[in-house]
Amino acid sequence: MKFRWNIAEVDSLLARPLEATLGISPLLAHCLVQRQVTEPESARLFLEPRLKSLSDPYLLPNMERAVDRLFAAHAARERMVIFGDYDVDGVTATALLKTSLTTLGWQVDHYLPHRMDEGYGLSQAGVENCLARFPVPLLLAVDCGSTATEQVGWMAARGVEVIVLDHHQVADPPPPAVALVNPQLGPDGLHHPRALCSAALAFKLLHALLRRGRELELERFARFDIKPLLDLVALGTVADLVPLRGENRILVSAGLKRLETTDRPGLVALKEVSQTRSPIGVYEVGFQLGPRLNAAGRLETAEAALELLLAEDLESARPLAEALDTTNRERQAIEKQMADDVVGLVRSKFRPEHDFVIVEGALHWHIGVVGIVAARVLREFYRPTIILGGDNELWRGSGRSIPGFDLAAALRECGDLLERHGGHAMAAGVTIQPNRLAALRERLNGAARTALPAELLRPELRLDARIPLRELTVDRLSELMRLQPFGQGNPALQFLIPRVTLASPAQKLGRQQQHWKFRLTDGQAYVDALWWGAVEAGDAPPSGTFDVAAVPQLETFNGRTLVRLKFLDWRPAS
């Protein structure tokens, strides 16, 4: 047993009103309660996410100020520049605003920072290069800027006003922007969503602008249809790993449907090169479309990804998509080599009882893939991890954390050691002088020893319910699939399936024979299960009578729908 199994208790007092009011099964009601969806009306919204349930965009902090300044620019025909970011969220938000604002009559340029030369966010180098190319009076910072107090002040002193549209943590003091539209500044809740990513915020800003334009009886605004832009919102939201709850759930549900039928040339071409077929869900965005859009920004600049999303026809989009596909293969090769090196280094000196946080860096490690490698190291050793690379003067890195350790807060306590830092509880970015790396490692480990009891250093497997294999029918799972889209904040269903055996010997699958395939039975039902990567990880197949932790899935092949299991862990039957 690799995990700490945590099996959810049934809370009938909360589940029964959902069953009665919504006419759903006890199991679906129980799974809703496990997701803290306990009121009938909130459960109805969860199961039936609709665009009409989106909140008023003007409830977002400082939205009205942003709209006022943008309409002043519109009336004066001022040129403005969108300063974006190089990840999928930043690129999709930039594409959404560039296309829509241009259509509605704004004079818009755009600028994406170069990852290697300018670093992440609204850096001083990025700002100076941007304004040298586009000497404008108004800059709209998208997916960055909330911690750029110094840079925004520098621009203000030179007569450049800044609107910040961002969802990251805000510096103290905050940047002196004309408008800082950031949900972190407001309360949380269904009508005050704090977890929106920047693509979603761009959608909300556009919604607010359209309302103002229609109030002013401007014809372009009356004709503009915002819904086709939901494909970009879904891409940014899923790729940025924000919780798929509340408004994010509504936007992604609608956006994934748009992705199915989108006529946006760049996305049509991207689906072709990635061989992404319908139905398109969170997996297809997260593992097929998103990585290809991310690849360019990871290695150099995201300009190619943005150019693809802005392409006006398939003839120009296809070569761009093919180039991104090639870049993604290069990224995968760099990532695999670096991950193997880093994991080997950590494995050679890892002391589980002493190392609560892993911090490693090297001059030759590629800063474009440090985040992906940090996630790989975390999966292997289950410790908060920061991996860095760079040049002789400064190293830049990315960190990933585990539940119970707020990485962004811990880095704030190390501010005297760092040149720059920012992020979230579970992921953060840092810039540091190489000679301070050991001090950072020691201080973070000290903080983690205080914050993390020993039991939190073993990964937890949260199981929604205990259910016999024979009860995992197509009809039952079809009802449970109303909980989709699964993702961050709304994990896929995971069940404990008791007392099963292997109906036939385990088989190895995959190009490198790295997976196990089983046929499981409880004596009445038979279901196939796949244990991904288990052979490669050295995990032996189960034996005797055992309990299974697994994700139930529905697969349709040749018109026939069957139940399949994604195998997670096993233990001898109790």
Give the residue-averaged pLDDT of 506-516.
Answer: 94
Give the residue-averaged pLDDT of 71-77.
Answer: 98
Q: Structure tokens of 12? A: 């009938």
Q: How far is CA 350 from CA 344, 357, 400, in A?
A: 10, 10, 17
Least trusted range by pLDDT, from 197-211, 304-318, 363-377: 363-377
What confidence tens digit (pLDDT) does each residue in 262-310 have? 999 999 999 999 999 989 999 999 999 999 999 888 777 899 999 999 9
Length of the chain equals 574
Q: What is the pLDDT of residue 296?
A: 82
Q: Is the pLDDT of residue 405 over 80?
A: yes
Is-contact 126 110, C-beta < 8 A?
no
DSSP characters for 474-517?
HHHHHHHGGGPSPBTTBPPP-EEEEEEEESS--EEESTTS-EEE
Q: Indicate the pTM of the whole model.
A: 0.90
**Residue 194: partners with Cβ closer than 8 Å, 6 or more residues away:** 183, 184, 186, 187, 188
Residue 192 pLDDT level (bands cut at 50, 70, 90): low
**Nearest in space to 136 (alpha carbons), one of 155, 121, 114, 119:** 155
Residue 35 pLDDT level (bands cut at 50, 70, 90): very high
Is-contact 325 305, C-beta < 8 A?
no
Q: Structure tokens of 28? A: 């679906």
The number of angstroms, rounded, from the C-alpha of 484 to the middle of its chain's C-alpha atoms is: 16
Q: What is the pLDDT of residue 514?
A: 94
Is-contact 405 448, C-beta < 8 A?
yes
Residue 527 pLDDT level (bands cut at 50, 70, 90): very high
CA distance 38 to 32: 7
Q: How far is CA 471 from CA 10, 468, 552, in A?
A: 17, 6, 11
What confidence tens digit (pLDDT) does each residue in 226-257 have? 999 999 999 999 999 899 999 999 999 999 99
List the end-to-end C-alpha distance of the chain, in Å, as a whole number.
Answer: 13
> If you ran DSSP here, which 8-state letter would residue 175 be given?
P
Q: What is the pLDDT of residue 158?
A: 97
CA distance 268 to 187: 38
Place of tokens 């395939």: 517
- The one-letter amino acid code at 423 reads G
Strands (E), 133-268: 138-142, 161-165, 179-181
Q: What is the pLDDT of residue 189?
A: 63
What confidence tens digit (pLDDT) does each residue in 428-456 have? 999 999 999 999 999 999 999 999 998 89
Q: What is the pLDDT of residue 28?
A: 97
Q: What is the pLDDT of residue 425?
A: 86
CA atoms within 13 A on the CB side of 344: 6
Q: Is the pLDDT of residue 534 over 80?
A: yes
Residue 557 pLDDT level (bands cut at 50, 70, 90): confident
Q: Structure tokens of 119? A: 């670093």
> If you ran DSSP here, which 8-state letter would residue 286 be given?
I
Q: Is the pLDDT of residue 220 over 80?
A: yes
What confidence tens digit (pLDDT) does each residue in 130-140 have? 999 999 999 99
Q: What is the pLDDT of residue 191?
A: 60
Q: What is the pLDDT of residue 1?
A: 61
Q: What is the pLDDT of residue 120?
A: 76
Give the residue-averaged pLDDT of 305-316.
Answer: 97
The mean pLDDT of the chain is 94
Q: Structure tokens of 267? A: 């996305």
Buried b (16+ CB within 10 A) or exposed e, 126-157: bbebbbeebebebbbbbbbbbbbbebbeebee
Which percentage of the chain shows pLDDT scores above 90? 88
DSSP characters for 136-164?
-SEEEEES--TT-HHHHHHHHHTT-EEEE
Q: Is the pLDDT of residue 190 over 60?
A: no
Q: Is the pLDDT of residue 559 over 90?
A: no
Angle at which helix 88-103 crosses helix 290-299, to 10 degrees, equals 100
Residue 169 pLDDT level (bands cut at 50, 70, 90): confident
560-572 vs 546-557, strand pairing mode: antiparallel
Is-contact 224 209, C-beta < 8 A?
no
**Nearest in space to 14 (alpha carbons), one of 23, 3, 31:** 31
Backbone angles phi, psi at 226, to 5 degrees: -80, -20
